Amino acid sequence: MIVTVTLNAAIDRTLTVPNIQLGHRHRASASFTSAGGKGVNVARALKRLETPVIATGLAGGRTGERIVEELGLEAILNDFVRISDESRTSTAVVDPTGGSLTEIYEWGPAVRPDELEMLLDKLRYLSRVASFVVFSGSLPRDVDDDFYAEAIRELNRRSVLCVVDCEGEPLRFGVEAEPFLVSPNQREAESLVGQEFSDEADFLMALETIADLGARNVLITQEKACFALVREERTVRRFRASIERIEPVASVGAGDVLLAGFLAARFNGEPVGAALRSAVGCAAASVLEVGAGRFDVREANRLAADVVLEELAPVSA
């Protein structure tokens, strides 16, 4: 199965507020609450794609209890380490009239060393049956920036394929630990390589740079597109997969769904091209719904047929 790891799990609340203006009182036209955090979003998407998955991570206090309860209601298999401090709540405000999204994140719990060691023990156990272990999202307080990197190195020694999707220093350390796949979004990739991207050449440069830093495979995700560097045996291939503009309802979690779509296809033995088409189709379908990690599988399959897949030449020396 695929194991997803979410250290900073949350209860996510999404409010739909038309014509929102700062400093004014508003009434939400709709609200939606669910378990969240990037790894949870990936697990939810994998579940929808009928791919065996178990979600683990840290969950604390009443909010943590609710996270686990919500996952159970969605029939997402989970095995979280219970911690003493309270898990966070996150709020997203969607303005459908202006097409804007405002996200507000709490810092999350403080985590003790013994609680982290319990999580590492759980990962050692779960990784015995894992095709992939996916490390996603931010780290809570008091967790060192190299936590993902050290976990990846240990799992690499056990020949477990590790995937990392985070930002900042945890991403940099994680890439240097030589994961099987790294999946930053454009902003995270720009920060990692130290420049903004304006054209295809910039994305190709970033793929090469991130691979040189240590990642075996690289996905740079966007709402409805991705650039990819994929190694198969001794061959390195580079792709761009994209779909025509779709008017989004909410783009929260699109990158998580894209990653899940790619992993599900590869888990099921699909070739790289088909996996990228499926990934972008899933991400495109997800922006049509409120709630991270949610999408209609039939719509995703329909959109995947419209994905344009281009194989790109390597960066010239």
- At 185-231, the pLDDT tens digits run 999 999 999 999 999 999 999 999 999 999 999 999 887 789 999 99
Between 67 and 253, the more confident residue is: 67
- At 89-129, the pLDDT tens digits run 988 888 878 777 788 888 889 999 999 999 999 999 999 99
Q: What mean pLDDT comes out for the span 155-164?
A: 96
Between 233 and 161, the more confident residue is: 161
| Cβ count near 243 (within 10 Å) | 19
Residue 316 DSSP code: P
Q: What mean pLDDT comes out for the span 285-306?
A: 88
What pLDDT is stored for residue 119 in this prediction? 97
First to last CA, the chain: 40
What pLDDT is stored for residue 84 in this prediction? 95
pLDDT band per the 50, 70, 90 thresholds, residue 316:
low
What is the rounded CA–CA span in Å between residue 149 and residue 164?
A: 9
Q: Over pLDDT 70: what percentage of the chain? A: 98
What is the rounded CA–CA span in Å between residue 80 and residue 78?
A: 6
The first and second tokens of residue 2, run together, are 């695929």
Q: Does the pLDDT of residue 244 top 90, yes or no?
A: no
CATH architecture, range 1-143:
3-Layer(aba) Sandwich (3.40)
Closest to 212 measured CA to CA, from 178, 259, 163, 168? 178
Is the pTM here over 0.85, yes or no? Answer: yes
Q: Which residues contact 297 (CB under 8 A, 6 or more apart)?
A: 48, 49, 285
Helix, strand, coil proportions of the chain in percent (round to 5)?
A: 40, 25, 35
What pLDDT is stored for residue 250 in this prediction? 63
CATH 3.40.1190.20 applies to domain 222-317 = yes
Closest to 265 measured CA to CA, from 74, 50, 78, 6? 50
What pLDDT is stored for residue 247 in this prediction? 73
What pLDDT is stored for residue 315 in this prediction? 67
The answer to whether the beta carbons of residues 283 and 245 sit under 8 Å apart is no
Q: What mean pLDDT comes out for the span 57-74?
A: 96
- At 138-152, the pLDDT tens digits run 999 889 999 999 999
pLDDT band per the 50, 70, 90 thresholds, residue 29:
confident
The answer to whether the beta carbons of residues 274 and 143 sit under 8 Å apart is no
pLDDT band per the 50, 70, 90 thresholds, residue 292:
confident
Domain ranges of the chain: 1-143, 222-317
Closest to 193 measured CA to CA, from 182, 202, 183, 206? 206
The helices-and-strands tally (H runs, E runs) of the chain is: 10, 14
* Long-range contacts at 21-30 (CB < 8 A, ≥ 24 apart): 30/290
Q: Do 1-143 and 222-317 fold alike per CATH?
A: yes
